[in-house]
Amino acid sequence: MKMKAFVVFFILTHASQHASSVGVLEGEESVRLTCQVSGLPKNTKVVWSRFDLNPSTIHQHQDKYEPYVQNQQYSSRTSMSADALKTGDLSLALKTPHHSDSGIYTCTVHNDKSEIRRLTVWLQVTVLSGLQQGSFAMASEGMESVMLPFQVSRLPEDIKVVWSRLDLIPSTVHQHQDKYEPYLQNQQYSSRTSMSADALKTGDLSLTLKTPDHSDSGIYTCTVHNSQNETRRKYVMLQVTELPTFPARAFAVLAVVFAAGLAVYFWYNTIPVSQVEVEEGVWLVKLPCKTKVQLPDCAVVEWSRCAPKPMMIHSYQNGSDLLVVQDEFYCDRTKMEKEPLKTGDLSLTLREPWSRDSATYICTVHSHTKVWMQKVIRLTVKSVIKVVEVRECAKSVTLPFRTCVKLPGDATVEWCRMDTGTLVAANLNQPGKKKNSYRGQLNKNLLQTGDLSLTLIKPTQADSSIYFCTVCGYGDVLLQIFVHLNVQGRGF
């Protein structure tokens, strides 16, 4: 049974500014961002936006249709009531919420003359744990084939389906899309995998694996994504057992009696799933993984992240950490205990976790073709709004933002004011951005020092608002923080 969690809180800024928050689990059919305004005049236009995106417009609504540029991440996924301007219910419905939809949404109501109202909603989409998203598949050596099940509905266009095993290199087991695209398949699965020819039309994305072998046992990840972002993900635990030879009828009876019990035992004892939750701002977080299994000295320990794309987080072999295959975002941020193969403590420590680190991680221990153990950990890093208070007589105020993340040399750092979308400060000139009308200053060599803080000179009460800093690099949003600045009057 699906679980729903909705939390609403209010952030007080100036009198005309209102903010709320809504939480939803990934996998729900839709989520509603509430916006209620009464007594709307004629020629009213409603615009839902996310100022951390480009283009920022999510949805637009008015009596007379007017073409607009919508962010493609939200194409065919947003809607408002047809009589919204009459009833005053300007709420936005967002279909199939995804983790990447998490952020601050602004509902701006205005007419030809001026802005009427502005409300903000903070949406947090929480990804389901591996246990809730996983299923089992059982097989025995000697069987003709085994199917790894995955059924979905309402697939958008330009879809690619990738089945992978992150404990293998290369990790791709099978790939499917309308237009053929060459890919690097793990040779262990060559000529052994297939999907239905009309899989993208029917939504049956199940994978058929021929002649299953004991070495095929492991965690299989099916990732569904288009050119914009990932849309679906599921884990299937495959257990291929080495059973003695039985007559066909005897084997069938044995499978019926023990399949369910073996599957449950395999999931809870061999592939345990753990939940770790922290808030942004903590210095360290540990992803726990301990085992009593006697591991050989030649074993390799690999920590991997499943999404938004499979990536290597940390590797250990022969008494040393292997950082050459590590994803750059995690460079100098991960560490394992000393002699993990001897102590059995394979836990990974992650330095300065950010909301972007929220994901499902897999620890795999293997040697040659044998997988000794695996563990799945779901890490959730909750975003928090920092609060900075200062009096109007102050010469300056600093909105703090420091990071140890290794940033690329061409990374962009932008500080914006949330209620207006105005660019307050940036490390690079951004064509088309609203001109800076604030006294905002950034530090020199900020990408090298990691001090991305913003300094406002001579703050006034008019500067009270929520500010957000977005750091982009490698073609993605790397970091983002929110700071609520409250400038108190001189006589306070």
Which of 271, 287, 308 is the endpoint of a domain? 271
- The tens place of each residue's pLDDT in the chain, 492 residues long, gives 333 332 222 222 232 334 566 777 666 778 899 888 888 888 889 999 887 777 888 999 988 777 788 888 888 889 999 889 999 899 999 988 877 788 888 898 888 777 788 888 888 776 544 333 456 677 777 788 888 888 887 787 778 898 988 667 677 899 988 777 777 888 889 899 999 988 888 888 999 999 988 888 877 888 888 766 666 777 777 878 765 444 444 444 444 334 444 444 444 444 556 889 888 878 899 999 988 888 888 888 988 886 555 677 888 887 665 544 566 778 888 999 888 999 999 999 999 888 778 878 888 888 765 778 888 888 888 877 888 999 988 999 999 999 888 888 888 898 988 777 788 888 876 554 554 556 788 998 899 999 999 999 999 998 988 888 888 887 667 888 888 999 987 654
Say if 334 falls within a structural domain.
Answer: yes
Question: Distance between CA atoms of 221 and 271, rounded to whole angstroms?
Answer: 14
Q: Are residues 71 and 180 in the same domain?
A: no
- The pTM score is 0.46
Say if 12 falls within a structural domain.
Answer: no
Structure tokens at 421: 């979308």
Domain that holds residue 469: 385-488
Say if 10 falls within a structural domain.
Answer: no
Which of 77, 93, 126 is the endpoint of a domain? 126
Q: Are residues 31 and 97 in the same domain?
A: yes
Identify the residue whose tokens are 């009459």.
86
Cβ atoms within 10 Å, residue 330: 21
How many separate domains does the chain show?
4
Structure tokens at 401: 């933002």
Q: Are residues 141 and 261 in the same domain?
A: yes
Q: Are residues 41 and 119 in the same domain?
A: yes
Which of 126, 151, 180 is the endpoint of a domain? 126
Question: Distance between CA atoms of 409 and 8, rounded to whole angstroms?
Answer: 39
Say if 187 falls within a structural domain.
Answer: yes
Say if 365 falls within a structural domain.
Answer: yes
Q: Are residues 186 and 247 in the same domain?
A: yes
Say if 228 falls within a structural domain.
Answer: yes
Q: Are residues 25 and 118 in the same domain?
A: yes
Q: Are residues 259 and 370 in the same domain?
A: no
Question: Distance between CA atoms of 3 and 33, rounded to whole angstroms?
Answer: 18
Q: Are residues 139 and 256 in the same domain?
A: yes
Say if 9 falls within a structural domain.
Answer: no
Please answer whether residues 310 and 304 qualify as being in contact, where contact means their C-beta atoms are separated by less than 8 angstroms. Answer: yes
Please answer whether residues 447 and 409 qualify as being in contact, where contact means their C-beta atoms are separated by less than 8 angstroms. Answer: yes
- Give the domain CATH number at 267: 2.60.40.10
Q: Are residues 309 and 333 in the same domain?
A: yes
Q: Are residues 134 and 190 in the same domain?
A: yes
Say if 102 falls within a structural domain.
Answer: yes
Q: Are residues 133 and 249 in the same domain?
A: yes
Question: Distance between CA atoms of 105 and 49, rounded to whole angstroms?
Answer: 6
